Structure 1
Amino acid sequence: MRLPEPRGGVSEALVQALTGSPGSFARLAPAAHTDEPWLDDDLQLALWVLYELHYRGFDEVDPDWDWDPELIRLRAGLEARFLDGLRAVVTIPDERSVPTALTALTSADAGPSMSRFLQRKATLGQFREFVVHRSVYHLKEADPHSWGIPRLGGRPKAALIEIQADEYGGGRVERMHSELFRTTMERLDLDAGYGAYVDHVSAPTLATSNLMSLFGLHRRWLPALLGHLAAFEMTSSLPNRRYANGLRRLGGDADATRFYDEHVTADAVHEQIAAHDLCGGYVAEHPDQARDVLFGAACGLQLDAFAAEWILDRWENGTTALRRPLAPDDTLAIPA
């Protein structure tokens, strides 16, 4: 994967430094504060690059950059702005029992319905744009949440491993969810390379991916990581049914829709495990961390709503939802 094109002063300084030797990054003055950091292209791209150093890295970047002290200092400052913005907009329900509170959160989610639009109205070109946005996460699906495994024990650990085992296809490469998504991309004539479309997607899309990495990399945010995963699983089954039906409406075959069809079944089971065994079990052991579990869930739901709103607003105005447009609708057809 190549380094992306910068989107502002912070990401430009970062990308430029990463082409050199570790230890050469100059300390940056704090970037301007924004009340909506999920809309800040420079901040979100810089965070995404910093996080990717801990996943697969970049072709031209020395792996010794991963824990460079100045990069960690920069990352901490960007994360603080990101979290401050989220704290200002998310609402955490009364704790009661955490599974009950998670149900209240996910049931009350009132963001724009991307899944209904894709099921009923989207053109093939719009569906391809949606897949491009989702590729930033789905090509590494489950990886951010797997950072929680070594930090857990007992019932919560077993629950997380059960969920992740399904995400990774039970050890069969052709059933890994990231590989199923790669097939969907290929059937839609898209580049299925890891990180291929980062330069195409918006700040809100990067923010949804960055949130998982932020929670996953910090042991302090383990409960938020678990809450995020629970909300993710509890709001997945019905939308994926709609995505699959929308793609079939547009001519998608069984290979193209398998990723979505798989999630209809798998996530209906996962949502119970995540809410009760994972989050409920964790809070039973750590009752003082219940609000952090719910904070993680609320942040994930809120950022998903922001990203959907950003994309749908552009489609409703007749424009592309990508920074770089793909081919026009009328030149496309799903391969037979």
Structure 2
Amino acid sequence: MHSNLVMSPLPEVTEKSKQIKEKIDINYERAEQQFIELLATENLDKQLDADPALNSEFERALSVAIPAAYQNGAGDDAAHRFLQRILYRINRLNLFWYDDLRHYVNERSPYLYKVRDQIETAWQEWELAQIDVAALQQLDVKQALIERCAEDLDPPLSTDSRYIRDEMSEAGYRHLLAIGSFEGLVESSHLPRILGGAANAVQCTLMRVFQEEYGNGRLSRKHSTFFAQMLNEFGMNTQPEGYFDLIPWELLACSNNSYLISERKRYFLRYNGGLTYFETSVPAAFRSYVAAGQRLGLSNAAMSYWEVHIREDERHGRWMLDDVALPLAEMYPNDAWELVLGYDQEKLMGDRAALAVVRSIRAAEQATLSYS
């Protein structure tokens, strides 16, 4: 007697099934390609008004990727990668790449701004949820910064650092260079974005850091030149972004965070806290890279970039703590905790990226062994 009864599925089951099917149908690579085409479209916003279908596949991928990455526990790596690549493609328009001027036709597009803000809002909420911000607001900021810098200047050797120092092969070293070139060939490009404005001792210290990073105006001494020399030693691509498709999303996130906090002056303290961590911690990490190069019998040129940073960034770390971070903590007593937020967030994101880089190196080494 129940043969004519039709049971309706529960609404939440229907919605979940719909989301799963929609996710399966999403092709992030195709959606990214559509976005790349949008970037090169003349009068993009007018074209979108006339033909909304121009960005239909991209918009559908965006609507799926944001909840998949930021509202789903650990998140979906494919979604993270898609979103960070899109965000980076927008952010890089804030720098000049000495390329075709037509590449910048949409640098002030309202549509691109909307996409950027849509991703950034969800992403930053997700990032900040991993930090106890309320606890940071209760800290003795100056003491917290001093203690953190002391710990990060010479930390215990991690398992991954030990692997790089003692086990990584030459193929792994090349892979490290390929990934490192993403930042190394355009190093410190975010720093000049915060240098303008009123003159004071903090600004002058930041300028000194910038000048040394840029070789005091001599291309032969600019740090990116040393990175290019390392690549040349192995006959590798020395063009910026030459190995873009190898970059883990975790490293793209570090770059995108620097774009965000260097562009928004309200995040000035966060940026300088993050830079304090970066300049303090780099020498310890790079010592493992140099040790690996020496173990592999590589030339000095194949390690030059790491060696320059070990020398200079120890000094830059002291400058950043003593002449930038601590003075800013006195200048902005009510907001000084944001320096620690920037420091801790840079460390958290940097550690996450370092793990991803080592995973990528191990995978590349395994692939080399499989082909040999």
For Structure 1 versus Structure 2, the TM-score category normalised by the shorter chain is: 0.7 to 0.9
Go from structure 1 to structure 2 and tell me whether the alpha carbon gap of 1:287 and 1:242 turns closer, same or farther (over 3 Å shift).
same
Q: Work out whether 1:77 is the aligned partner of 2:118.
A: yes
Higher RCO, 1 vs 2 (CA within 8 Å, ≥6 residues apart): 1
Q: Deviations for 1:95-124, whole angstroms, at most 9, x for unmatched residues?
A: 313364353277278995543322111011
- Following superposition, the deviation at residue 61 of structure 1 comes to 4.6
Measured in 2, the distance between the counterparts of 1:259 and 1:330 equals: 31
Which residue does the alignment assign to 2:87? 47
Q: Work out whether 1:15 is the aligned partner of 2:36.
A: yes
Alpha-carbon contact 2:141-2:340 (below 8 Å) kept:
no
- C-alpha RMSD over aligned residues: 2.9
TM-score, normalised by the number of residues in structure 1: 0.85
Which residue does the alignment assign to 2:163? 117
Q: Per the alignment, in what secondary structure is the counterpart of residue 147 of structure 1?
A: helix
Alpha-carbon contact 2:262-2:271 (below 8 Å) kept:
yes
Which residue does the alignment assign to 2:327? 281
Q: Per the alignment, in what secondary structure is the counterpart of residue 320 of structure 1?
A: helix
- Following superposition, the deviation at residue 184 of structure 1 comes to 1.0
Superposed counterparts of 1:141-156, under 5 Å: 141-151=187-197, 153-156=199-202
% same residue: 17
Which residue does the alignment assign to 1:256? 302
- Following superposition, the deviation at residue 191 of structure 1 comes to 0.5
Alpha-carbon contact 1:102-1:294 (below 8 Å) kept:
no
- Residues paired across the two proteins, number: 321
Q: Per the alignment, in what secondary structure is the counterpart of residue 345 of structure 2?
A: helix
Alpha-carbon contact 2:188-2:213 (below 8 Å) kept:
yes
Measured in 1, the distance between the counterparts of 2:150 and 2:100 equals: 39
Which residue does the alignment assign to 2:318? 272
Gaps of 5+ in 2: 1-26
- Following superposition, the deviation at residue 144 of structure 1 comes to 0.7
2:285 to 221, 239, 255: 239
- Following superposition, the deviation at residue 10 of structure 1 comes to 5.5
1:210 to 244, 253, 256: 256
- Following superposition, the deviation at residue 321 of structure 1 comes to 8.2
Which residue does the alignment assign to 1:101? 145
Q: Per the alignment, in what secondary structure is the counterpart of residue 239 of structure 2?
A: coil
Alpha-carbon contact 1:141-1:178 (below 8 Å) kept:
yes
Which residue does the alignment assign to 2:16? none
Q: Deviations for 1:186-207, whole angstroms, at most 9, x for unmatched residues?
A: 1133211011111122211211
Alpha-carbon contact 1:105-1:298 (below 8 Å) kept:
no
| Structure 1 letter corresponding to 2:83 | L
Measured in 1, the distance between the counterparts of 2:299 and 2:140 equals: 45
Q: Deviations for 1:222-280, whole angstroms, at most 9, x for unmatched residues?
A: 21111111000110112222211211211221111111111111111111110121111
| Structure 2 letter corresponding to 1:119 | R
Which residue does the alignment assign to 1:201? 247
Alpha-carbon contact 1:7-1:42 (below 8 Å) kept:
yes
| Structure 1 letter corresponding to 2:250 | P
Measured in 2, the distance between the counterparts of 1:133 and 1:37 equals: 23
Go from structure 1 to structure 2 and tell me whether the alpha carbon gap of 1:11 and 1:319 turns closer, same or farther (over 3 Å shift).
same
Measured in 1, the distance between the counterparts of 2:180 and 2:76 equals: 16
Larger radius of gyration, structure 1 or 2?
A: 2
TM-score, normalised by the number of residues in structure 2: 0.77
Gaps of 5+ in 1: 1-5
Q: Which moved more, 1:77-86 or 1:108-117?
A: 108-117
Measured in 1, the distance between the counterparts of 2:371 and 2:234 equals: 12
